[in-house]
Amino acid sequence: MNAARADGVSWSMTLARLAVARGALLALGLAACDGGGGAAPPLDAPGDDAAVDATADAVIDAPVDATPDAAVDATIDAAIDAGPSGPVTVRVARPRSPSPSLPLSGILVFASHPDGSLGTRGVTDANGEVTLSAQAGSTVTALLSDDGRARVLSSIHGVEPGDVLTIDPEREGLGTAGPGVTYTWPQTPDADNSLSFDAVMINDGCWHRSVMTFAPDPPIPPLPTAGTLGLVPGCGADPRDVVVLHYDTDHLARYALLHGVPAAVAVRPIGGWSLPDTTFTARAVGLPAYVNSFGGVPSPVIHGHSMAPRLDTAAPTAGNATLTTPWVSAFGEARVWYFAGSNLYGATSCFDDVPAGVHDVTFDGAELPTMVGTSSIAPATRRVTWDRSPGPDPDEIRVTLRYYGPHISPLVDWTLRAPGTADDVVLPELPPELAEATLLPSYSTYTSVAFFDLETVTDWPTMRALPFWAADLDAAQSNRWGRACQSWH
């Protein structure tokens, strides 16, 4: 026991030892009485249990750390330090935004103590929910799939009693092909006479349902002249607004803005292309010396969402950079996507919303989130570590781990969410039925670490209550959480 806590804990420890000592020694005394064939004396008969009393008193009076059950002491100390257990409710559901998420029943969910050892466990019900008992600082893990060769696991570290958490697989595909609205457009000339790729992007505001088609520039063969957005029930407003963007290299060359497109299987020609009528300038000032590339480009917002556009970048000079791109006044509100790259720490993407009529923005390098560097795992300790740039702690650290056993496919694909204050992440112990999926030193591994920052979410309890996908930049768009950033390596 920690000596500093001896006075506060000694009495409860004494009571615990008294119960153990009295129970064990009483059993011995009763056994001795039974061995003589006579009836056991009353528990408090004078004189008969004097030896038991004396032995128990000796145990109670012994120094706390001098008793032979030091391992028991350590276990009790750990339980006291961790605090009491309480209910933690976990919901496992597949997101189908904008439709309601799909609860997943029969999913094994287990809790792990702060030291990584196994705690309680359960299986999700018809509502995709299960309630476990866990201490502060515990981890909850869901076995999302197991085909006998590969397992998909998702964990949330640093949970607290009373938490209501969501663990979800990544979103299902939202149907970019198949029956839907097929948009057609005229063949376009090469605007900048470069050898870079052209791209046409179609966005109706339904998350990742945007379609992008590519062709060499100059188009040989010609740039495709059609793209289909598959119909998704419950995708929002019907009819919908749609924007079609033609990027020549990294610059917006042409566009078509369509209003009131019915959600019905059909072919919809966009008619003629329109040309940008203004420019948009994104500046960076005071970038750290380890940032060697910067990008900033606007994208139109359709039904609350935008696509990360083709991105032009520039090398900062003395921490400053300026990028100007063609833009369209009719787009109104814009979502500006920023990018910072580093040879030391990977990359960071952020987005900010700017109102209609604002065509010049500045990114302050002092507000650049902490960037993440290389990561690795020590199989013997199951400990994942990473490098990071100077700066404040992120809101969330997300570890993606894959390790490969005797098969070519991953033996385990594991995502672990942890508070931004964490210096490392230790894999929880797996339950017995997953013992063969335990990480071994001979296995090859892949680790990737990402940092997430949301402007209006400032604490881990709020962050961990968000579903897995909600911390992604794509999901953060619809929630209007202010600037959202993701750093990865």
pLDDT one-digit tens code per residue, 56-72: 444 344 444 444 455 44
181: domain CATH number is 2.60.40
Greater model confidence, 109 or 186: 109
Please state, for a pLDDT cut of 70, what percent of the chain lies above it: 71
Question: Is residue 283 one of the residues assigned to a domain?
Answer: no
Greater model confidence, 260 or 21: 260
Question: Is residue 387 one of the residues assigned to a domain?
Answer: no
Q: Has residue 123 got a pLDDT over 90? A: yes
19-49 confidence digits (pLDDT tens): 333 333 333 333 333 333 333 333 333 344 4
Question: Is residue 140 one of the residues assigned to a domain?
Answer: no
400-446 confidence digits (pLDDT tens): 999 987 766 678 999 999 999 999 999 999 999 998 888 988 899 99
Q: Is the dihedral of CA 130, 133, 137, 138 positive or negative?
A: negative
Question: Is residue 310 one of the residues assigned to a domain?
Answer: no
Question: Is residue 202 one of the residues assigned to a domain?
Answer: yes
CA 245 – CA 255 distance, rounded (Å): 5
For residue 119, the surrounding DSSP H or E stretch is: strand 118-123
Quote the domain boundaries for residue 46. Answer: 3-82
Q: Has residue 305 got a pLDDT over 90? A: no
CB pairs under 8 A, 24+ apart, for 270-274? Answer: 270/183, 270/184, 270/185, 270/244, 272/186, 273/185, 273/186, 273/188, 273/246, 274/328
CA 133 – CA 89 distance, rounded (Å): 9
CA 480 – CA 475 distance, rounded (Å): 9
CA 159 – CA 164 distance, rounded (Å): 9
Work out how many domains the chain is built from and give that number.
2
- Domain C-terminal end among 275, 294, 318: 275
- Domain C-terminal end among 259, 275, 291: 275
- Domain C-terminal end among 220, 255, 275: 275
Greater model confidence, 205 or 330: 330
Question: Is residue 291 one of the residues assigned to a domain?
Answer: no
Question: Is residue 26 one of the residues assigned to a domain?
Answer: yes
Question: Is 167 in contact with 196 (CB distance < 8 Å)?
Answer: no
Greater model confidence, 151 or 408: 151
Q: What is the mean pLDDT of residues 260-277?
A: 89
Q: Has residue 220 got a pLDDT over 90? A: no
Question: Is 401 in contact with 446 (CB distance < 8 Å)?
Answer: yes
Question: Is residue 158 one of the residues assigned to a domain?
Answer: no
Predicted pLDDT at 462? 93
CA 185 – CA 189 distance, rounded (Å): 12
Locate 394 and state its tokens: 């992120």
| Averaged confidence pLDDT in the chain | 79
